[in-house]
Amino acid sequence: MTNSIDVDMRAPAWTESSGETRREALGTRLIAGVSVPDSPLITAALEYAQKLSEPYLFNHAVRSWLFAAKIGHLKGIDYDPEVVAVGTILHDIGLTAGVSGSNRFEVNGAAAALSFIKERGLSNRRAQLIWDLIALNSTPSIALHKEAEVALGTMGIGLDWGGFGFELIPPAEITEIISAFPRLKMKDKFAETCCHLVAARPETSSDNFLRDFGERFVPGYKPVSAVDLLMNAPFEE
């Protein structure tokens, strides 16, 4: 992750397209002191994430959403709140036992999320933003320079994961969110989850942060080297 949070958010404002729910039509609700959008899709995403995830991982997803909503409000960002909600709530489902695939966990999770929302009336554009948010959230050096929805979701996730941008939100508000959705030893449990994935599918870990957990905690782990890939390419020079 990176502690860079002041990025250019000049993405186009969300406008209505055929089949989309207008932002003004979304309901609102208060969760842990944070005003967030309310819609059947968001409720379904919460239920889906909770069904798949261990409690610590579900709480992380919800806190990430709430932090993203707070940052969006504080920074005056214009964005699609339903896309950010669904993307942040589902951003780590690729780490769960219920989501499998041959790709790195972020891509598996993005594919599962896309399948989940496929028949729910979202435009291709909004679905693509959700896919990008999930697939890129652990690569902030790219995600923070994408559309407002992708960047903002990544900010909320980064704040809860590594404390990046921690100073943006008043301490009392952070405390209220964590009290409502406790961390449940997240540091240890997230590390255990990553190590399990490295051991089970090492081929998916060389080019994301799983590599760091593997090198530090998984005995015998040998990631693929980009240097070897270049030097072993089938060309003379």
pLDDT at 121: 86
User: What CA–CA distance (Å, rounded) separates 64 from 107?
Assistant: 19
User: What CA–CA distance (Å, rounded) separates 117 from 178?
Assistant: 28
Q: Which residue has the tokens 């969760």?
A: 31
Residue 45's CB is within 10 A of a number of other CB atoms, namely: 26
Selection from 17, 22, 49, 15 nearest residue 37 by Cα: 22
- Indicate the burial class of 32 (C-beta count within 10 angstroms; 0-12, 13-18, 19 or more): middle
Q: Which residue has the tokens 């909503």?
A: 69
User: What CA–CA distance (Å, rounded) separates 99 from 36?
Assistant: 27
Selection from 1, 7, 38, 30 nearest residue 163 by Cα: 1
pLDDT at 25: 76
pTM over 0.85: yes
Q: What is the pLDDT along the chain (237 residues), one digit of tens a residue?
A: 333 333 333 333 334 443 344 465 799 999 999 999 999 999 999 999 999 999 999 999 999 999 999 999 999 999 999 999 999 999 999 999 999 999 999 999 999 999 999 989 899 999 999 999 999 999 999 999 999 999 999 999 999 999 999 999 999 999 999 999 999 999 999 999 999 999 999 999 999 999 999 999 999 999 999 999 999 999 999
